Structure 1
Amino acid sequence: MLDWRFFTERTCAAVRALGSERHRHSTRWALCLSDPFEFACGLFALLAAGKQIVLPSNHKPAALLPLAGLYDSVLDDLDGLLANGAGGPCAKLRIDPRAPLSLVTSGSSGVPKVIQKTLAQFEAEIHTLATLWGTVMRGVTVVASVPHHHIYGLLFRLLWPLAAGQPFDRMTCVEPADVRARLAALQNTVLVSSPAQLTRWPSLINLTQLTPPPGLIFSSGGPLPAETAAIYTQAFGAAPIEVYGSTETGGIAWRCQPQATHQNEVSDAWTPMPAIDVRCDTEGALQLRSPHLPDDQWWRMEDAVQIEADGRFRLRGRLDRIIKLEEKRVSLPELEHVLMRHPWVKQAAVAPLNGARMTLGALLTLTEEGIQAWRSAASRRFITQALRRYLAEYFDGVVLPRHWRFCMQLPFDERGKLSVTQLATRFATHPLQPEVLAEWCDDNTALLELHVPATLIHFSGHFPGLPILPGVVQIDWVVRYAAHYFARCNGFQTLEQIKFLSMVRPGTTLRLALAHDPERARITFRYYVGERDYATGRIVYSKSAVV
C-alpha cells in the first residue's frame, strides 16, 4: 500500500523535475498517465509547478493528434520525468486555487470540445459530495470501473478520496470478476461505476458473489434503467446512487431508484445537490446556478425538464436531439422511450443518418422475448415491420426509422456515453465486410443476420456479368466472427466437409449460424436463408488455441 508520505515525496520530486532547465519552458502539459496514483502525483506536481494542464478524454496517440495545438509536452511516464529532469529543492507545495485545467470531451457529436475549469471549482464540488455522502466515505477504499481522466472518475475516485483522507484502488475494474476480486480483498469499499457497466454485469455474474457488497455504488454518465436499479436493490438492499451532471457544470442532482414520494409513489425525479438552484425556461430547458460553475449566472442545459412542486425535477430528453424530417419535428429521446416500452426491446438508440436525404437508424438490444421472436422468424424484417407498425401508432410514418440493427449491447464508451459518430458506424458499409443487421450469441453458439451489399470489392471480376461471392470470402467471414464471439478461437488449422450449395449474389441477406465445440476444437457453420442452405462446413483450430 502506498501512503501519504510516498505520495508527497513523489509529487515533490516531480515538481523539482518540472522546474529543471529541460522542462522549464514547457508551460502546457497533456496529462496522460494511465495509473491513477501516478496521475494524481502528476496532476498536483503540474499544479504546484504553475503549469497549465490539459486532460484528454483519450490517451491513444491518434486521439491526441487533433489536440496538438493545446499542449507543449505530454506527461505519460512519471518515472521518465523523474529520471531525466532532476531540479532544485521542492519547498512546501503551494497551489493557486485559480489554477486552470482544460478537460477535453468528445461531446455528443464526437468533435473534441475543450472545457475550462479551475481547481476552486473542483474543490467546491468535493465539498458538495462530502456534505451529501461524507459519512459513508469514512474507513472505506474507493474501487472504480471508470477511468480517472474524465471529470466523474477524477472527482469520485481520486480528488474526493484524497480530500477525505481515504485510500483509492489503483486498479480499474473493467470486468465484474475484477470487481469481485477487489471487493473481497479490500472489504470496506465504495464502488464508482457507470450505467453501461452496471446494466451489463447482472448477465455476467451473480451479484450475490460480490461479497462483501460495497457500502455505496455511484453511477454517472446517463440514467440507470429502472429494471437495473431494481436488480441491485434486490441484491444489496439499495440501488446505486445516480449522479446527473456534465463536464461543464459538474454535479447537478442525484437520485436513488426506487425512491418513494410523500404519497408513497415510486418516483424517477432528481434531487438538486446542496446550494444548486434549478428552474425551467420558456423552452422547457433546465437552467441552474451552482457553486461548481465559474460564476453565479444562470446556466442553460440542453435537457428538457419538468420541475416538481417539491423542487425536484424529471428529465424529459435532450432538446438538441429534436430534429426535422420531411418538415416534421421528431424527438429522438421520445422515439427511444416508446421503443423501449415494446416487449421485444430492451435498449434503443436512434441516430440521424446522412445520405441522399436524412433518415433515422435504430440500434436495439432485444429482450429474451425479442430474441426468440427474431430467431424463430424467417428474417429480421418481420421484427422491424412489427416495430414500425407499433411506432406508427405514436408517430407520423415519415419520421419512423428506416434502418434497423439488433446488437448484443449498445456501443457505450468507457464513460457510459453514446455519440452520434459511434451510432452511425453501426449503419455504415465496408468494402470488405457484410452489414451485420442482427447478432446474438451465448457461450458456444452465435447467430448473425448479414446483408451482402453490391459494393463489396469481392464482386469485382467474379464473375463479369454474373457476380457471386467467392467461397474463400465466406470462409474468411466465419473465421473472423468465430474469433470475435468465442474467446481465443484462433490458430486456424484445417477445413472439414466444406460445401457451397447456392450462389450468394449481391444484395442477399443471409443468416450465419456458428456452433463452437471447445472439446473438439472446431467451429461448425451454416449460411442459410429460410430452409435453403448456401454453405456449410467445419473449421478446426489447434487445441492450444481454443478454450
Structure 2
Amino acid sequence: MIALHDLLLDDDACNTPVCLDGALTLDRAAFRSRVFALAAAWRAQTEARYALCIDDPFDFACAMFALLACAKHPVVPASHSPDYLASLSEDCDAIITDADLAGLQGGIAPETAHAIDADAALTLYTSGSSGTPKPVRKTLSQFDAEVRTLEAQWGALAGNATVLGSVPHHHIYGLLFRVFWPLAAGRPFDRALCLDPRQLDARLAACDAGIVVSTPAQLARWPSMTGFASLARSPRAFFSSGGPLDADTARTYRATFDAAPLEVFGSTETGGIAWRRQDRSDAWQALPGIAVERDTDGALFVRSPHLGHHDWHRTDDAVDFDADGRFRLNGRLDRVVKLDGKRVSLPELEARLALHPYVARAAVSVLQNASRQRAGAVVALTGEGHAALAAHGRVALTKALRRHLAGYFDLVVLPRHWRFPLALPCDARGKTPAAAIAAAFDARAEGFELLSACRDGDACSLELRVPSGLAHFAGHFPGLPILPGVVQLDWAVRLAAECFDETRDVASIDRLKFTAPVGPGALLALRLSRDPARGRVQFAYRLGRGAEARECASGAIVYGSAA
C-alpha cells in the first residue's frame, strides 16, 4: 500500500500498473507524468475550485491529483447536467471536462516528484434533506484511511485482480473502489465500463483475474442478459453498494458463482460502515476499525477513522442489533432514499417540482414495484397546470414535468408514477401524511384509481383506471368481464360530491345510457358538469384516449332541490 498523498513521490514501483486500456497498460510512471503535465498547465491559473466533469477514470484520476499537487480544490459533482452544475456555481470557479483534457494531451513533465498535503481537501455532493445538493468536504487522509480499511478487509481476496466497474467514479463508492483503492494498493483498474455480461466477459478474458464493482440495480438486471451464466472466467468477487441487494439476486449469484455479492453499506458523509454477504447472513457486520451503536430512537451511531474526527456520528438509518453485534436496517429516519443505487432527497424532488409554473404543491413517495423501488409524485396543479392538463392530457403533462426534473437529477430517480388530484391529501393539522401520499397510487375503496382531476368552474374532468383485479368483475360475466353499470354510476355520484361539495341526497338519475362495455384495465375519462340552477350534475364517461376515445356511459344526477 502507498498513501494517497505519496503517489507523486519517487519510489521503486514506477512499473506498478495503474490502468488497463484495452491491450495497453498504463503504469505509475505514466500516471505521474500525465499528472505533472496537467499540474504545469493549471498551476498559474487564478481559479481555486475546479469541478471535475470527466468520464474517463484515468484522466479523472490524473486531473484530481494534478489539482491537489497545485494546492487547488477538486469538486466532484454528482451529475454533469447543465442545470445541476448551474446550481453549484457558487461552489466552483471552473469546470474541467474530457474535451478540456483532450486539448492538453502530451507535454513534458517538468517534475519528477511532488508531495501532496495529507489534509488536502476535495468536495463531493450528496442529496441533503433540505431540498438542495449538499456539499461534503473530505480530506485525502480520510480517503487514505478508508482504502486501508478496504485493503484490510478484502485485500487478500482481491490480490492482483483488475478492478472492473459498471459504476461511474462521480460518487464516493465508485471513486473509492474504482480509483483510490486500486491506486493505493497497486492494483490496476479498467478504463472501460462493463455495462452488460458480454462486456464483462471480454474484459475478464483480457486480464488475469478481476473483481467487479457494481450496484444492486445492475446486478439484478444482469442474470436476464445474454452471457451471464457462461462467463469464461468468474470474477473473484462482485461488490455492490448504493442500496440493499434483494435476496433473490443474491441467491442467483450464489448459485452461479458460488458466492453472493459483497455488499457495502455507508454514505458520502461516513464512508464505508459495514458489509454483508447474504448467503452467510442478511445482517451487516462493521468493517475493521469501525464502531457502531444504536441510539434510543433506533438511529445508527458510528465512530470511524473515515469521518475525520473521533466523535460519534449519528446517521439517519434506523437499525436493530442482534446478539452477535451485527445489525439490520429498518429504513431511514429522514427522507433521503436510494433508487437504483442513486441517493436522492425526496424534499429536493418536491422543491424542484414546485419551481415549475404548472405545480402549486408536490409530494413524493417511494413505491415498491415487484423487487424495485420507484418514486411516485402527487401534484396539485396551478391554474396554468390545469389548463395544460385540459389541453394536452395527463401523459403530456407528465413528460413536461419529467423534462423539468431531468435538468437536475439522474433519470433513474425521476418519478415513474404520477397523480394529479384537485388537492393534496391532508390531516386535521393540515399536514400531508406520507401514508396518504403512498395511498394515492392504490385503488380507492370504491375500486378505481384516480389518475388526475381538473376543475374549471362548474366543470370537472377526471381520469380513472379500472384495476384488472376489481372485485366487481367476478361473475360479470364469466369469460367476458364487464364493469357493471351500477358501479360506474356509483363512481360518478361519489366524485361529483367531492368535486362540487354536494352534500344532499340524490333524488333521481335522468337520461342514463350505457353505450360501450368497460373491461379490466380500462382508462376512463369522466366529465362532470354542474348545473346549480337545476340542481343536477351531468356526467359522461369516455373510454380510451385521443381520437379513438368513445362515450361508454352518460346521465344526469338530480339532487333533492336546486343548488
TM-score scaled by length of structure 1: 0.61
- In the TM superposition, what is the alpha-carbon distance from 1:144 to its structure 2 partner? 0.4
Equivalence for 1:198? 219
Name the CA distance, whole Å, in 1 between partners of 2:279 and 2:197.
Answer: 23
Name the CA distance, whole Å, in 2 between partners of 1:351 and 1:31.
Answer: 26
Letter of the aligned partner of 1:170 in structure 2?
R
Equivalence for 1:313? 327
- In the TM superposition, what is the alpha-carbon distance from 1:505 to its structure 2 partner? 4.5
Aligned pair in 2 of structure 1 residues 278, 89: CA closer, same or farther (>3 Å)? Answer: same
Equivalence for 2:30? 6
- Structure 1 unaligned residues grouped into runs of 5+: 260-266, 323-331, 337-348, 368-410, 412-417, 431-436, 439-448, 460-464, 470-499, 513-524, 533-547
- In the TM superposition, what is the alpha-carbon distance from 1:205 to its structure 2 partner? 3.6
Aligned pair in 2 of structure 1 residues 509, 219: CA closer, same or farther (>3 Å)? Answer: farther
Is 1:298 the counterpart of 2:319? The answer is: no
1:171-211 C-alpha deviation (Å, 9 max, x unpaired): 12233433233233335110000011111222234531233
Name the CA distance, whole Å, in 2 between partners of 1:140 and 1:85.
Answer: 29
Asked whether the equivalents of residues 286 and 301 of structure 1 are also in contact (C-alpha less than 8 Å), the reply is yes
Alignment of structure 1 residues 109-508 onto 2, 5 Å: 111-205=132-226, 207-259=228-280, 267-321=281-335, 363-366=367-370, 422=413, 424=415, 426-427=417-418, 453=452, 505=525
Equivalence for 1:32? 53
Name the CA distance, whole Å, in 2 between partners of 1:29 and 1:358.
Answer: 34
Aligned pair in 2 of structure 1 residues 272, 51: CA closer, same or farther (>3 Å)? Answer: same
Q: Greater Rg, structure 1 or structure 2? A: 2
Aligned length: 388
Asked whether the equivalents of residues 143 and 157 of structure 1 are also in contact (C-alpha less than 8 Å), the reply is yes
1:398-441 C-alpha deviation (Å, 9 max, x unpaired): xxxxxxxxxxxxx9xxxxxx9999464631569xxxxxx89xxx
Alignment of structure 1 residues 96-111 onto 2, 5 Å: 96-107=117-128, 111=132
Name the CA distance, whole Å, in 2 between partners of 1:450 and 1:182.
Answer: 48
Aligned pair in 2 of structure 1 residues 88, 129: CA closer, same or farther (>3 Å)? Answer: closer
Aligned pair in 2 of structure 1 residues 211, 429: CA closer, same or farther (>3 Å)? Answer: farther
- In the TM superposition, what is the alpha-carbon distance from 1:298 to its structure 2 partner? 0.3
Letter of the aligned partner of 2:418 in structure 1?
F
Is 1:17 the counterpart of 2:21? The answer is: no
Higher RCO (CA < 8 A, seq sep 6+)? 2
Equivalence for 1:49? 70
* SS class of match (2:38): helix
Aligned pair in 2 of structure 1 residues 92, 509: CA closer, same or farther (>3 Å)? Answer: farther
Letter of the aligned partner of 1:295 in structure 2?
H
Asked whether the equivalents of residues 162 and 209 of structure 2 are also in contact (C-alpha less than 8 Å), the reply is yes
- In the TM superposition, what is the alpha-carbon distance from 1:92 to its structure 2 partner? 1.0
- In the TM superposition, what is the alpha-carbon distance from 1:452 to its structure 2 partner? 7.8
Letter of the aligned partner of 1:302 in structure 2?
D
1:449-505 C-alpha deviation (Å, 9 max, x unpaired): 99885659xx9xxxxx99999xxxxxxxxxxxxxxxxxxxxxxxxxxxxxx999984
Asked whether the equivalents of residues 316 and 334 of structure 2 are also in contact (C-alpha less than 8 Å), the reply is yes
TM-score scaled by length of structure 2: 0.60
Identity of aligned residues (%): 44
Aligned pair in 2 of structure 1 residues 177, 284: CA closer, same or farther (>3 Å)? Answer: same
* SS class of match (1:2): strand
Name the CA distance, whole Å, in 2 between partners of 1:350 and 1:80.
Answer: 33
- In the TM superposition, what is the alpha-carbon distance from 1:245 to its structure 2 partner? 0.3
Equivalence for 1:536? none
- In the TM superposition, what is the alpha-carbon distance from 1:362 to its structure 2 partner? 5.9
Letter of the aligned partner of 1:271 in structure 2?
Q
- Structure 2 unaligned residues grouped into runs of 5+: 1-23, 372-401, 403-408, 422-440, 443-447, 464-515, 528-540, 553-563
